[in-house]
Amino acid sequence: MLETFQAIIGGRFAPLTIMSNEDTDIDSMITTFNTAVTETASDILGKHRQKTKPWITEEILDLYNRRRELRKKRFEPEGSEKYKEVNNNIKRCMKKAKENWIENSVVRLKKI
């Protein structure tokens, strides 16, 4: 992963090495640097998903993303049905995941 990041970053900064010292504006160089590093890191690493509750799984987070996409289309006939379906699926998965997490927590406490 490190090699990939270094290769992509190196390609993005090639134009900066060609620029002459007279044409450089430090603010634009800093902005370019920050943008390049941020975009490359998000492309390679992906978006950081913060779990606020310990029972939330990657599957549930993916359903949240799907619902977010469908939110724009929920006022269309087909979009409304899909949105409701995904929303109900999220609720079911959250309830099931929380119950499993509670059961596992109780079992772990009994072992102690």
Q: Is residue 52 part of a domain?
A: no
**Count of H helices and E strands in the chain?**
5, 0
Mark whether 77 and 34 lie in a shared domain.
Answer: no
Q: Is residue 85 part of a domain?
A: yes
Alpha-carbon gap, residue 44 to 61, rounded angstroms: 19
Band of residue 16 on the pLDDT scale cut at 50, 70, 90: low
At residue 49, does pLDDT exceed 90? no
Mean local confidence (pLDDT), 59-78: 89
Sole residue written with tokens 């190196």: 10
Question: Which of 40, 84, 39, 94 is closest to 62 using CA atoms?
Answer: 94
At residue 15, does pLDDT exceed 70? no
> CB 21: neighbour CB atoms within 10 A?
5
Q: Is residue 38 part of a domain?
A: yes
Mark whether 41 and 62 lie in a shared domain.
Answer: no
Domain count, the chain: 2
> By residue range, what is the domain housing residue 77?
58-111
Task: Say if residues 89 and 63 touch (Cβ distance below 8 Å).
Answer: yes
Alpha-carbon gap, residue 33 to 19, rounded angstroms: 14
